[in-house]
Structure 1
């Protein structure tokens, strides 16, 4: 079987790629990186570097026009600043709505696009890096188990029963994702998670805070956070 991995260049998707290569071999894995109008391209550069490390082909897709009307704080057209606080603190002010860095139905769009590309490349499975910390509190509803199950069912039916979706970390925490990645020797020094596009991670946005905590929970220092 061949696998397609949605690769953002961050911790979770890079761990998915490592797991897919470990299971299927690099000759049977392709990666897909998506530009969706984010304020920087650091994560896309990271995705390219991670794909090169594993020796897998990387396909790229530009979906920025679809999100052109969104005011998500991650996007170039947004008037909002990226929050410099944890997701838990952000959720205190959302009244149950997703956080401002939620890109509208992003994972749904990515998985649907990936399904078409996967089928055209004889892949039988799509991997993506949703995990329970992102789904908690409805911060990112398209990272939940319920969402994954629904998308998997839709893709399976829509592909005539030949394509499935694997979210190997959907029931796990980010710390557990990092634990798996450390065991697989994922090159975390090549990854990028920060919502800002500086020379170094900001260390204070929601994803930076989660990343730092996940490595600390495993008793190691995040290689890209050293000296920050």
Structure 2
């Protein structure tokens, strides 16, 4: 059994990751990051998910650094969130520069401070084309850095890196993840918009395996 800090955003992938880590018998604590994202309400879902399984949860407030991310539709407010399929060129407008390195650095610091063995995050194969910091090569480099940043080596776990979101959804259903208590939509409105790339991908993930989608969409 290992002691693992799980990066929990409040979305489908990280919720499944949290349940996956617990199902494997590991001890977990969770961390979420407020970087000034438009859909900051995802952090409330992260908190509720962690409370539901009795896992300690912290939110790191990095919102003050929001201006350094420049003009993108997730951390900024001047650019509209693009709609349509996730793989389209327009979805690159949702790239927050170097976001995963920042999130992972905070999680690794938490692991070091609490003498934990590993950090886990939910990057998957569907993200590779759009988000460079979800590529296996990036994760491997971060794993090497995590092993060197503290006197006690910390591993970086990415169990879903070769899976697609449909496979993650199937794994989540098998684990009993309450997907109705997760948040995906980039617009961060009262309900999932059903049109942004994240919502489209969420719909496709459930449909890929004929799974019931419990999400309430505005459209």
Which residue of structure 1 aligns with residue 111 of structure 2? 118
Which residue of structure 1 aligns with residue 177 of structure 2? 186
Q: Given the two structures, how large is their TM-score scaled by the length of structure 2? A: 0.94
Give, in whole Å, the separation in 2 of the partners of 1:48 and 1:161. 28
2:155 pairs with 1:147: no
Which residue of structure 1 aligns with residue 54 of structure 2? 55
Give, in whole Å, the separation in 2 of the partners of 1:34 and 1:78. 18
Stretch deviating more after TM superposition (189-198 or 59-68): 59-68
For residues 71-92 of structure 1, the C-alpha deviation after alignment (integer angstroms, 9 at most, x for no partner) is: 12112x4311000111222x2x
| Number of corresponding residues | 217
For residues 137-186 of structure 1, the C-alpha deviation after alignment (integer angstroms, 9 at most, x for no partner) is: xx101111111111111111223452101011111111111111111111
Which residue of structure 2 aligns with residue 108 of structure 1? 101
Give, in whole Å, the separation in 1 of the partners of 2:152 and 2:4. 15
| 1:227 CA displacement | 8.0
Which residue of structure 1 aligns with residue 79 of structure 2? 80
* Structure 1 unaligned blocks of 5 or more: none
Misfit runs of 4+, over 2 Å: 159-162, 225-228
Distance 1:110 1:152, change over 3 A: same
Give, in whole Å, the separation in 2 of the partners of 1:88 and 1:146. 20
Which residue of structure 1 aligns with residue 207 of structure 2? 216
- What secondary structure, in the 3-state scheme, does the structure 2 residue paired with 1:40 have? coil
Which residue of structure 2 aligns with residue 12 of structure 1? 13
